[in-house]
Amino acid sequence: MNKKICKIIIVVIIILAFIVGIMYFVDLDKMKKGEPVVFGTWGAKYAPIVNEIENQDNNEIVDTANKQNDFSLVFYQKTAIKPKQIEKIISKGEIEELDYNVYSFEGNVAINLNSNNAELTENSISLRDALLQDKITMEEIIEKANKDFPNVISYDDGGSKEYHYPTYTIIKLNKLMGNKDVYIGNKDITIHDLNI
């Protein structure tokens, strides 16, 4: 009788291990595709890609056909910058729709409108001026980053994302505690450099 019970227990354990394995591979496949997981992240640093152009007030999709997508951010250093120096580009509330702060990390940020040139030119304007003059919005910048990097990896801190371009990086925080700030810095920075 004891051998029969041991065989049943072993069969049940094998079946449970098989089911857990299937659950793991289903979620692993969903994480690779950037889709929401079914069972869990299994300890991986992951959050599904969220459609950030959804209007959260009334859950309607915003028409993006006329959005400004022909622009390029320019990250540069014109003065001696201290390591890990952070400067505020614009504060939340300075623009009505902006509910987070935007910072530069170890440099300065300008923008070339109607151009994909990532070099500083006489036509470049500071990102602050472009935002205040309503020439572009942070939503357009983040939307373009999401299009440029459709499979960007999200952190499991609430969904913070890093967009690594050849000459700069955009870090869009989405912390569980409510920090939604944006940092723009050199091409090598990561969220861990921010010490937040």
Give 151-188 pLDDT, tens digit per residue: 887 888 888 999 999 989 999 999 888 899 999 998 88
pLDDT at 50 over 60: no
Q: Is residue 13 part of a domain?
A: yes
Measured in residues, the chain has a length of 196
Residue that has been written with the tokens 């869009």 in this structure: 172
The single-letter DSSP state of residue 37 is: P
pLDDT cut 90: percent of the chain above it: 31
Q: Are residues 133 and 183 in the same domain?
A: yes
- 94-118 residue pLDDT tens: 888 888 999 999 888 989 888 777 7
Q: Are residues 95 and 149 in the same domain?
A: yes
Q: Look at residue 9 and give its three-state secondary structure.
A: helix
pLDDT at 57 over 60: no
Residue 100 has what pLDDT?
93
Residue 163 has what pLDDT?
94
For residue 101, report the phi and psi dihedrals to the nearest 5 degrees.
Answer: -90, 155
Residue 62 has what pLDDT?
39
Q: Is residue 29 part of a domain?
A: yes
CA angle 120-133-126, nearest 5°? 20
Q: Are residues 37 and 77 in the same domain?
A: no
CA angle 43-12-21, nearest 5°? 30
Distances (CA, A) of 175 to 36, 41, 188: 18, 17, 21
Give the whole-angstrom CA distance, residue 19 versus residue 116: 50
The single-letter DSSP state of residue 106 is: S
Q: Are residues 180 and 133 in the same domain?
A: yes
Residue 66 has what pLDDT?
39
Q: Are residues 77 and 158 in the same domain?
A: yes
Q: Is residue 36 part of a domain?
A: yes
Say if residues 102 and 90 touch (Cβ distance below 8 Å): yes
Q: Are residues 94 and 179 in the same domain?
A: yes
pLDDT cut 70: percent of the chain above it: 82
Q: Is residue 99 part of a domain?
A: yes
Say if residues 106 and 115 touch (Cβ distance below 8 Å): no
Claim: this prediction has a pTM higher than 0.85: no
Give start and end residues of each alpha helix (H) in the chain. Answer: 2-33, 127-132, 138-148
pLDDT top residue among 52 and 80 = 80
Give the whole-angstrom CA distance, residue 96 versus residue 111: 21
Strands 169-172 and 161-164: antiparallel
Q: Are residues 97 and 36 in the same domain?
A: no
Q: Is residue 58 part of a domain?
A: no
pLDDT at 149 over 80: yes
Mean pLDDT for the chain overall: 81
Q: Are residues 125 and 86 in the same domain?
A: yes
pLDDT top residue among 139 and 50 = 139
Confidence of residue 91 (pLDDT cuts 50, 70, 90): very high
pLDDT at 14 over 90: yes
The single-letter DSSP state of residue 61 is: B
Q: Are residues 37 and 81 in the same domain?
A: no
Q: Are residues 39 and 90 in the same domain?
A: no
Query: Residue 17 is encoded by which pair of tokens?
Result: 């291990």
Q: Is residue 166 part of a domain?
A: yes
Which residue range(s) make up the domain with 128? 71-194
